[in-house]
Amino acid sequence: MKSVIYYEPDLDIQEVLKLGVSDIILSTTFFSRFGKLSRKQLNEALALLNDVEINVIFEWDLLLTNEDFKRCCLEFESLDLDRVDFFRALDPGVFSYLVSRNHKVHLLLDSGPFHNLQAIQSFLELGEGLVKRIVLSIELDQEELSVICDELDVEIEYLGYGQILLFYTPRSLVKPLYDAESTDNWLEVTANSEESPHKGFPVIENIHGTFMFNPKDHYVLEHVSSLDSLGVSHIKLDNRFFKNSLLASLLCEPEQAKNDLPRKTIRGFFHKNKSDALFKKLKNHRILRRDKNYIGQVIEVEKGECVGIYLRNTLEHAKDMNLTLITPEGKEKSVVVNDVRDANGSLFKSGKYGDIIFIPHVGGVSVKTNVYYDG
């Protein structure tokens, strides 16, 4: 398994090479959400890496409105990036721009919403052979990773250790709280939600917006051999958020290194992603209608008098009807109805969507009961 880390000015490149790191990412203040390299530091890094046998990756992971996009392109075109081997993009516009300039691209899907094979294949087709690596979403579980890796013919990268980005906005949300006390372009705070037990969310605000992270970091380094067998070719360590001195132990003794980390860690969705399992509970399925033989829903119950049914279907013969009524609690009642009236009390013969009909009172039936026609 090859490893990918970020370049930092205090990084000992020779040590990094000894650790077997294959790729190094340049993350700048202007093009990266959490980049700290100035233009001068970028040039120094490029010069330093000129004769080093390592893949150099330029990160451009911003989402950009049109104005910002144009500004970024101008800046990009003014850089001397000959030493860069690959460029990584999150915004489909940036992706397209890089492809149109014939750059070799890494597509960033790690913190974005695209999770399926067909989506990735669409980008590969649009990439005209220039997409060399996909940085997969950390919301994919092992099973999904395996399917995707099997099908793709490009390098696959996955986050081994790093912060989990939960929220990305271009707006300044924290500085206003401090009445712009801080003139820094980089503000870090910890947010605690009133919704228990969610505490300790790291928040960063910088020139690109406000970012909130999960209190626990993503850590799957002890599963590198599984990842390898699934087909992941590269594992990333986001050393912008931990001390570089931890790199050696993280890469060589991942089980043990876990004890020295600045914050608690989780495997996230790596074993199983069940984040759609709760959806069934969000609705009362008993009040959901079945289409077959559906007439409508009870809209009024006047005890001892009548039940009002809101027709949500055509009713051709409102006479001698066998009806099944299913209450919101799931109770079923079957009734034969001979007397169907309108709101004025006149006999009702047939009706259409939107009409309201009244039948004699049926005990145990409440509003939202679904009504089905059995003949």
198-257 residues in contact with another protein (CB under 8 A) are 198, 201, 212, 214
Calpha distance 91→1 (Å, rounded) = 27
Other beta carbons within 10 angstroms of residue 255's beta carbon come to 9
95-124 residues in contact with another protein (CB under 8 A) are 95-97, 111-123
Among 223-231, 243-251, 256-264, 354-362, the segment contacting another protein (CB under 8 A): 354-362
248-307 residues in contact with another protein (CB under 8 A) are 268-269, 273-279, 282-283, 288-291, 294, 299-300, 302, 305-306
Q: How far is the CB of 59 from another protein (least distance, A)?
A: 17
CB 135 within 8 Å of CB 105: no
Q: Which is nearer to another protein, 96 or 324 (CB)?
A: 96
Phi first, then psi, for residue 120 (nearest 5°) are -65, -40
In 3D space, the residue among 220, 205, 215 whose CA is nearest the CA of residue 166 turns out to be 215
Q: Which is nearer to another protein, 255 or 291 (CB)?
A: 291
Q: Could you say which of 13, 22, 41, 168 contacts another protein (CB under 8 A)? A: 168
Calpha distance 279→274 (Å, rounded) = 10
Among 42-50, 94-102, 236-244, 331-339, the segment contacting another protein (CB under 8 A): 94-102
Q: Which is nearer to another protein, 35 or 112 (CB)?
A: 112
67 binds another protein (CB under 8 A): yes
CB 27 within 8 Å of CB 7: yes
61 binds another protein (CB under 8 A): no
Residue 196 CB contacts under 8 Å (≥ 6 apart), including other chains: none
Q: Could you say which of 1, 17, 166, 261 contacts another protein (CB under 8 A)? A: 166
Q: How far is the CB of 28 from another protein (least distance, A)?
A: 20
Which amino acid makes up residue 199?
Answer: K
Calpha distance 93→64 (Å, rounded) = 8
Alpha carbon distances (Å) from 282 to 153, 276, 279, 285, 363: 39, 11, 5, 9, 29
Q: Which is nearer to another protein, 53 or 67 (CB)?
A: 67
DSSP β-bridge partners for residue 347: 341
Q: How far is the CB of 51 from another protein (least distance, A)?
A: 35
